[in-house]
Amino acid sequence: MPAAQNPPEKMMFQLSLRRRGISDLAVLRAMEEVPRDLFVAAADRADAYRDSALGIACGQTISQPFVVAYMTEQLQLQKQHRVLEIGTGSGYQAAILSRLCRHVLTIERYRTLADSARSRLEELRYDNIEVLLGDGFDVPPGAGQFDRIIVTAAMEQIPQSLTARLEPGGILIAPVGPHRGIQTLVRVTRTDTGLERKELVDVRFVPALPGVAREL
Ligand code: SAH
């Protein structure tokens, strides 16, 4: 009885993702399962299932649901994958990823955001996610290699330090472009012969900044 369980706005949410071209059923199911209303500010709960980005603490944003679904679909996740996310923010994208792979390491440069995402994800029992306070431009060497890497903050270029972390056959997706303005979502695949780059769609993300934030 999905109609009785799902409030109308959640049904519209699924419909609008499908209408905009998201067709991977596992991705749609993850988008249905993860309660976005628990990742937004309390004052924004009523707007949680609208297709828009919303403000969170530290002047950052939780991405627009369509962009979350699109990036997730483009990653072509498999159950055994180990995934790295740069830019934890609310933890919402990490929660979606965690439904579709084995493990997610997500890195955030603001302590306030890392701490609140960690406790939110623990409360919701997403137990295959590790939240790390750190700098995505400087991932600790001990973190190892990843099957998939997703960057959810705008980078002027994709650093070699990140593509170097891709397993053979691995895929990285990142918004690339100027910090103020429009960026392009870029997908990089590590093939036998090197790195293959494809530009996907235009997007707008908050900037990726170097270093752990000095303010909380
Ligand atoms: N994926 C998030 C939204 C990301 S907003 C979600 O689902 O809610 C982008 C986030 O990237 C911000 O929280 C910002 O602080 C963080 N960020 C920016 N530069 C970073 C860096 N160098 N390392 C880690 N996180 C970074």
SS3 155: strand
Residue 158 Cα to chain centre, angstroms: 16
pLDDT along the chain (216 residues), means of 10: 64 94 98 97 95 96 97 98 98 98 98 98 98 97 97 98 98 96 97 97 97 90
Which ranges constitute the DSSP H helices of the chain? 2-5, 8-19, 25-33, 65-75, 92-98, 111-123, 160-163
Which ligand 1 atom sits closest to the C-alpha of 85? 1
Probe target for ligand 1 pocket from 62, 72, 206, 216, with the most ligand atoms within 8 Å of CB? 206
User: Which listed residue (23, 63, 90, 161) is catalytic?
Assistant: 63
List the residue whose alpha carbon is closest to atom 14 of ligand 1.
Answer: 87
Which ligand 1 atom sits closest to the C-alpha of 39? 8
Here the tokens at position 152 are 């959810």
Task: Tell me the domain boundaries of the chain.
Answer: 52-203
pLDDT in tens, 41-98: 999 999 999 999 999 999 999 999 999 999 999 999 999 999 999 999 999 999 999 9
Which fold does the domain 52-203 belong to in CATH? Answer: Rossmann fold (3.40.50)
R_g (Cα) of the chain, nearest Å: 16
Active site residue 161: no
Here the tokens at position 29 are 């199911």
Which ligand 1 atom sits closest to the C-alpha of 207? 18
